[in-house]
Homo-oligomer: A and B are copies of this chain.
Amino acid sequence: MNKLGLTKPDGRYMFLYSRREIPRELRAPSPDGTPVRADPHLRWHPLRGEWVAYASHRNNRTFLPPPEYNPLAPSRPGDFPTELPAGEYDAAVFENRFPSMAPGATAKPDVGVPSRPADGVCEVVVFTQDPKASLSGLELEHLELLIDVWADRYAEISARKNIQYIMPFENRGVEMGVTLHHPHGQIYAYPFVPPVPARELELQREHLQQHGRGLLEDMAAAEIAGGGRVVAVTESAAAFVPVCARYPYEVWVMPRRAAPSFAALDARERKDLARTLKTVLMKYDALWQRPFPYLMVFHQSPVNTREYPEAHLHAQIYPALRSPGRLKYLAGTELGAGMFANDCLPEEKAAELQAVKVNV
């Protein structure tokens, strides 16, 4: 993997990644050259026991792009500058110009509950230069490169000593609120371990202490042995509809051993994970012959805090649809009580995905 570090005119950092050599003369553009003034803060929610981020500058976007403007496409001479340079590379990472968390944040308003600067990191990961591509349609080697990119980001962001949790994710489709259709994901790096992974790790730790094996290792092994909910499996990676799926078509993808992060995967495991993930995403898109909207999040080990022998890198994919035209809404019981109600049995949805044949 080749990597080139750049700085945008407004001060944000950018990295280009490629399987081939990257021309050293590339320069990082920005749609807006004025320095970023993000100063988001966190407030403590005393009734839920969690931090909430406030980034009111995000609503003050004065930039008015021309119609059809794609800020994630490579810049073209004479056109309005985008976030990406023209040139030879496969993927790009840069700081979000309108971040929910920002490294230099200092705000700590006196509001009656504890508050602190939201000094995390929000990165955009552009998966490819091709605006019409999708993660599922990328060549296997390109997806392998993206796994290297996620591993690189994990290692590099970990060097910021205030960061405790690094979460890559992809929101895909208008159903998920996505307005930029160029294939891309994001990485949020938090100055604390957020409640969802914190809770998962707590339960993983209990399982490890009781059984001497990882919870997700055991779940993956049981799914592979049973077979009924498996969606894809390779020598070192597995994908399945979990027995406790909260969303119709929910799938988890993971290395079969408890590798704590992307950075901990060896070359063979990265290849297997790429192939397994690509199989799932291709099945999704082939299921109804349309791009399948979803949220995909990667959970991995916290950093710069205690040891987490219980951590196990995995993706959880939450599809937005129940059927081709019907959304899965989160409403009263999901948001108000935290009990998900699923109209579909995981076994039925797994069988549907199993029946879809794809050529990875």
Interface residue ranges, A against B (CB under 8 Å): 43-56, 58-59, 100, 111-113, 165, 167, 169-171, 176-177, 186, 188, 190, 194-200, 202-204, 207, 215-216, 219, 222, 226, 242-246, 295, 297, 299, 316, 318, 327, 329-333, 335-345, 348
Contact = CB atoms under 8 A, between A and B. Distances in A.
Given A56-B343, A59-B343, A176-B331, A337 B44 contact: no
A336 B333 CA distance: 18
Contact of A337 (B43, B197, B341): B197
Given A112-B243, A186-B332, 12 more contacts: A46-B207, A46-B215, A47-B200, A48-B199, A48-B244, A49-B199, A55-B343, A56-B348, A59-B343, A170-B332, A196-B338, A295-B336
Contacts of A207: 46
Contact of A246 (B45, B46, B202, B330): B45
B246 A337 contact: no
One complex includes copies of this chain to the number of: 2
Contact of A54 (B176, B198, B337, B345): B345
A219 B43 CA distance: 14
A5 to B, nearest CB: 25
Contacts of A216: 47
Given A244-B113, A297-B332, A332-B169, A337 B190 contact: yes
Nearest to A196: B338
A297 B339 CA distance: 13
B335 A56 contact: no
A215 B56 contact: no
A268 to B, nearest CB: 26
Nearest to A58: B343
B177 A329 contact: yes
22 contacts: A43-B243, A45-B246, A47-B204, A50-B338, A50-B339, A52-B341, A55-B342, A56-B343, A56-B348, A167-B333, A169-B331, A169-B336, A171-B329, A188-B333, A188-B337, A188-B339, A194-B337, A194-B338, A195-B338, A297-B337, A299-B336, A316-B336
Given A332-B186, A335-B318, A55 B341 contact: yes
Contacts of A226: 112
Nearest to A175: B329
Given A200-B48, A243-B112, A336 B167 contact: yes
Contacts of A51: 339
Given A336-B297, A338-B196, A344-B59, A177 B331 contact: yes
Contacts of A59: 343-344
A347 to B, nearest CB: 8
Contacts of A295: 331-332, 335-336
Contacts of A331: 169, 171, 176-177, 295
A256 to B, nearest CB: 16
